[in-house]
Structure 1
Amino acid sequence: MRSVTCPGDFGRGYESARRRVSQLNQLVHAAPPMPCLRGSDGTALLRGPPSCDEHPAIQRDPRPSRCVSFSRDGSLFAWCNGDKVSVVNTADGSVVSTFDLPKTMLLEFSPLGRVLATWQLYSKSQGDLQGEANLQLWDLQSGQLLKALYQKKTEAWCPSWSDDESIAVRSVNNELHFFENNDFNTIANKLHMQKVSDFVLSPGAQPSKVAVYVPGSKGAPSFVRLYQYPLFGGPTAALANKSFFKADRVSMLWNKKASALLVTASTEVDKTGASYYGEQTLHYLAVNGESAVVQLPKNGPIYDVAWSPNAAEFCVVYGFMPAKATIFNMKCDPVFDFGTGPRNAVYYSPQGHILVLAGFGNLRGQMEVWDVKKYKQVSKPQAPDSTHFSWCPDGEHVVTATCSPRLRVSNGYKIWHYTGTVLRRQDAGELWEVRWQSFPDGCFPERPVRYQAAPGELGSTQAPPTQAYRPPALRHLPATASSKLHEEEPPQDLRPGPSAERCLSKSALKNQKKREAKKAAKQSEAPPSPAPTPAPACNSQSGPTCGDPETDKKMKNLKKVKRDAFVFVCV
């Protein structure tokens, strides 16, 4: 198929036009995304599924790499093997640039691939009080150093760029420094706030917004504010403001259209003692000034939050195990409840048409694949001991991996089709990282959701039905409803409409009807309760009421003794 060519020099817009042409070429060719493997046996790029063998044009580097990175459009790949930093073209493996930076620990491309940021550990000698600038920004076209900066911490080490690279921002001593057009020698603007702890620059087109977090101190609440660049001055400059208590740290997440922000506030310790994980609350802010606390129906920690790529809804996994998962709209109203299950993570496909609920870490690796439009479950595969999960940009495949140092045994990866079929399984001696090649939005259109398992030589690993633990003394007896450890909640469609049961599967709907019929039968079989009879008033102050003269006499004498004792004490 013929590639799109650039007809000439576009002047100042030439670079952006060239990037658009590159993206169009990727759309035309639509090559499968490549996974990158980094481990003790070196760094390798694989061809995309279904082949999944090593890329013929990019040879494996046998030396262990400290870090790898793809450019956002996937055209460039960089890695550091302890000797140098190499940047190659993913299409043919040609070398774009090399840098003599053997101590590089982190790499990151700017959104358009014009700048490569490298970071190494900060160090200084005895005679050098200031130390060496450990954050370098390189121009990939010329290979020249744009700026060397000091960055001691790994948190937020890399500058944040807007999607068109017209703005870059980094935090320096309670200030946000803004740079324009990759000119890092001149600070174009500043946002100064006392004790700024974190910030997030919005994605999407201009104008750019920035969310800043300031932790509370001395009884004052913490707060998050939204600003539009460069309108920072004045008390009413903030687009939205949300203050809250009980926040040792926060995580902030913009939706794709930069119209709203989700803030998860966490404390290290739950003072009520209800949770080992501390305490979490979820807050919503919109650029139109609206803010709210997202009300979660079940108590417990918030495990994960994810925006849908359509930017109109988000999913939250929360509550004590078995955890609930719920989709909310932009008004923070629940739309669909997935019920309860062993899960602690949520992942939307890049196209937003499929959602995966998973239970990794201390859970057994069960995954629930859902069709988001029909709210129907597609498959339920299981990937035990997984420490990594990510969607392929094509929206058809996922990868799960067991990586070191989280788990040092049984390292390896699996590439799946979302219907539960394993397409490739590979064990590794020591696997450190698995990463998909990035692609621009729109390269892989949304495809109809399939419910039949895709063909594959390795088959599928559907999760077996889980059963509650039963003591050995009861295992020979038939199971009853009372033997369940937890009461399972089925999925519920919370959208207004006449049929709230349309989302349930046939088995779930059948079980729900059985429970309702059993409950109704119990209520109909219960015998009518007899009318309560008044208790004999033996302690009445009036005459005998118990019917037995001897009992009445003893009660009367006992009351007299109590009364005389009370009078004696008072005197």
Structure 2
Amino acid sequence: MASGDLQAVDDNDQNNDIQLKKQHLENGFHEEPDFSDPEDFVDDITDEDLLSHLLRQKPTEQSGLQNVVIVDRIPQVGPERAEKLKTVLFKLFSKCGKIMNEFYPLDETNQTKGYVFFEYENPEQALDAVKTYDGHKLDKQHVFAVNQFTDIDKYVNIPDEIEDPQIQEYSTRGNLYYWLFEPECYDQYSVLYEAGEMTAVFLNSTPEPSLLKERKLWTEQNIQWSPLGTYMATFHKRGIALWGGEDFTQLARFAHDSVNLIDFSPCEKYITTLSQQLVMANDANAIIIWDIRTQTKKRAFSADPSQHLIWPIFKWSFDDKYFARIYADSLSIYETPSFGLLDKKSTKIAGIRNFTWSPSQNILAYWVAEDQNVPARVTLIEIPSRNEIRAKNLFNVADCKMHWQKCGDYLCVKVDRYTKAKKEKNEFKYSGMYFNFEVFHMREKQIPVDSLEIKEQIVAFSWEPVGNKFAIIHGEGPSTYSVSFYGIKSGVTVSLLKKFDSKQCNHLFWSPSGQFIVLASLRSTAHTLEFIDTSDFTITNTTDHFQVTDVEWDPTGRYVTTGVSNWAHKVDNSYWLWSFQGRLIRKHNLDRFCQLLWRPRPPTLLSDEKIKEIKKNLKQYSAQFDIKDRMALSKVSKDMLEKRQKLMKEFEENRQKNERMFNTTKKRRNELRSEDNIEDKEDDETEETVEFLIKEEITTIDENDD
């Protein structure tokens, strides 16, 4: 650039500075503002406070290395056999995920050194490769040793001297099942109120519930009971805490930042935690499975933030031996306690949409969507053999929902189907929808399937927990629907038992013991509740609870609660307790009530024969219970009478005490008053007569009377 050009640039900069100063003066600035900090300024705001969401994604020395695995003990071959070896290894390890890069170190003679590096798309795939192929036998001479690249430092820093672990003193956790020994079989329930700031646990005693434990800010979100009722889980910013025992002491802690969702395994051996914040950051520890008793992390997984999250991602078998998930058109089944893939491989199932476990057997059901001329398919497989025990092809399928009966006797698949398609301009168009229910009879030979077709829109479906009935809410609505009850008789016959028309309900709530059901209209304008005894389909009560949002049965089926949650409505927050027949027992108005959850009970230890014997002799037992109830009521009356007598006695003693004090100080009080004031007061005193009507009689006098 010439010197003249440089001079022109400098002149231009000076003109810009002059114009900027003129603009500051026009805007009221007498001098150019200075945004620099004073010399003695101390910044007390850390980067963590300002940029915490960005610092979580700050790269580290280990970033990207978690995706890399080292496969040791591979064959050492020359250039003539290298391509064949690479093809074999790539075919094996690509089953665990997409391989981005591979590197085979060579010696001076271009012969492989006996190990290879594979870089996967994400850490989860790399961990799957370690779990799947560590110890894999390629041939008689070569057994793979597979490790993540980040494990190198762990093995390098192993101390030469072994230190014996410190023996920790055993501390008893108390009886975690004490609540099952309650003499009157009262159940416990937890209540969250004051907009979530207060948490309390009550005993459902009569005539009023007894407070067992109350604590402020016990949880930061909500609470959740474990499936068998042993633990109560609370949510915190740093993780999850489990509480139990007679004093609800803290039994376990699981550190996982910003946990949003948790899921217990059915036998309470494991707990799964998910952090949505780590999911969005594509963190390898977004999902963690923990061992509850040892409080150790068993395995961590990442989740794709671009995909819709369906919780729980992992679904457990009834005995905690297996858990599974759908990942990239494949069904991955893991086994415990190794937490590795079952048979070290995933099952490739193109088009798989959903799956579910049987609640009583290691049988897994999944369905596959239609693909051009290939029909949709519902398949049942046994685990761990993966043998297919039943399959059903379905056509014109839009969606499927699978519902297991609680005892695992039946599986009902609700199929949303298109009506017959019409071809218009080389495109198929569907004119409407209809619905099928495919009922699999799991206890019958060869698992026969019964079909039920309903033309109307399906609002809700629910199995009777103990029994062979199910209920369906259907109709076009939106104000009224029909409720149909079906039963499965001998053989494979599904028959209609009862149909109720013009019902204002959108939810079904069966009693845990079966037979009784509540038809509820939640989060709508109706607020109705109907209690039905399905033994003869008698409506025992029809009532309402204004703005009701929640319905919860107790684990025995004796009581049911309805609540208006502050999370849905800001007024009329309360919960009401009903009997199983719909009799209102009591109302509880709590400030900003949010949630009520009954404490679950483990399955009964009684045999089926013993249960039948109890039902047979129920009248004999009921007479004993009636006597016990009368004694309890008399005890309540006696306690109430004693309480009233005590209060009356305290009042009488206090009255006599004050009367004695009044009489003792009367002379002194008169002395303190002047005689003039007393005379003036006596002159001012006047008498006033008050008349009021006590009784009015009207007598009719006959004119003919003398």
Q: Give the TM-score band, short-chain normalised.
A: 0.5 to 0.7
Contact 2:191 2:596 in 1 (8 A): yes
Gaps of 5+ in 1: 1-20, 456-571
Give the TM-score, by structure 1 length: 0.65
Q: Offset at 1:106?
A: 1.0
Could you say if the C-alpha distance between residues 420 and 328 of structure 1 is closer, same or farther in structure 2, counting changes exceeding 3 Å? closer
Contact 1:115 1:137 in 2 (8 A): yes
Equivalent of residue 448 in structure 2, options 261, 268, 290: 290
Whole-angstrom distance in 2 between the partners of 1:103 and 1:85: 9
Q: Which secondary structure state, in structure 2, belongs to the residue aligned with residue 227 of structure 1?
A: strand
Contact 2:507 2:519 in 1 (8 A): yes
Whole-angstrom distance in 1 between the partners of 2:333 and 2:430: 42
Whole-angstrom distance in 2 between the partners of 1:29 and 1:76: 21
1:328 is aligned with what amino acid?
Y
Q: Which secondary structure state, in structure 2, belongs to the residue aligned with residue 26 of structure 1?
A: helix
Aligned twin of 1:317: 473
Q: Offset at 1:265?
A: 3.1
Higher relative contact order structure (alpha carbons within 8 Å, sequence separation ≥ 6) = 1
Q: Which secondary structure state, in structure 1, belongs to the residue aligned with residue 180 of structure 2?
A: helix
Q: Which secondary structure state, in structure 2, belongs to the residue aligned with residue 295 of structure 1?
A: strand
Q: Which secondary structure state, in structure 2, belongs to the residue aligned with residue 46 of structure 1?
A: strand
- Higher-Rg member (1/2): 2
1:245 aligns with 2:401: no
Aligned twin of 2:409: 259
Whole-angstrom distance in 1 between the partners of 2:279 and 2:382: 38
Equivalent of residue 344 in structure 1, options 506, 513, 529: 506
Contact 1:44 1:54 in 2 (8 A): no
Equivalent of residue 36 in structure 1, options 190, 196, 207: 190
Equivalent of residue 145 in structure 1, options 294, 297, 303: 297
Q: Which secondary structure state, in structure 2, belongs to the residue aligned with residue 338 of structure 1?
A: strand
Aligned twin of 2:382: 228
CA RMSD of aligned residues (A): 3.6
Contact 2:190 2:202 in 1 (8 A): no
1:175 aligns with 2:312: no
Cα deviation code 1:196-219 (max 9, x no counterpart): 111110101x4x111112222436
Q: How many residues align?
A: 419
Whole-angstrom distance in 1 between the partners of 2:204 and 2:419: 44
1:366 aligns with 2:528: yes
Q: Which secondary structure state, in structure 2, belongs to the residue aligned with residue 88 of structure 1?
A: strand
1:72 aligns with 2:230: no
Equivalent of residue 114 in structure 1, options 266, 269, 275: 269
Equivalent of residue 439 in structure 1, options 582, 601, 614: 601
Whole-angstrom distance in 2 between the partners of 1:223 and 1:94: 49
Q: Offset at 1:80?
A: 0.7
Q: Which secondary structure state, in structure 2, belongs to the residue aligned with residue 239 of structure 1?
A: strand
Give the TM-score, by structure 2 length: 0.53
Structure 1 range deviating more: 84-93 or 109-118: 84-93
1:155-554 alignment, distance < 5 Å? 155-188=310-343, 190-204=346-360, 206=361, 208-218=362-372, 220-232=374-386, 237-247=388-398, 249-266=399-416, 280-287=435-442, 288-296=446-454, 299-321=455-477, 322-330=480-488, 331-428=493-590, 430-442=592-604
Equivalent of residue 259 in structure 2, options 104, 111, 123: 104
Q: Which secondary structure state, in structure 2, belongs to the residue aligned with residue 285 of structure 1?
A: strand
Structure that is richer in helix per residue:
2
* Identical residues among aligned pairs (%): 17
Whole-angstrom distance in 2 between the partners of 1:24 and 1:66: 27
Q: Offset at 1:431?
A: 4.5
Could you say if the C-alpha distance between residues 174 and 182 of structure 1 is closer, same or farther in structure 2, counting changes exceeding 3 Å? farther
Q: Offset at 1:269?
A: 12
Contact 1:38 1:64 in 2 (8 A): no
Q: Offset at 1:427?
A: 4.0
Contact 2:225 2:600 in 1 (8 A): yes
2:285 is aligned with what amino acid?
A
Q: Offset at 1:352?
A: 0.6
Whole-angstrom distance in 2 between the partners of 1:347 and 1:139: 33
Contact 1:266 1:281 in 2 (8 A): yes
Q: Offset at 1:146?
A: 0.8
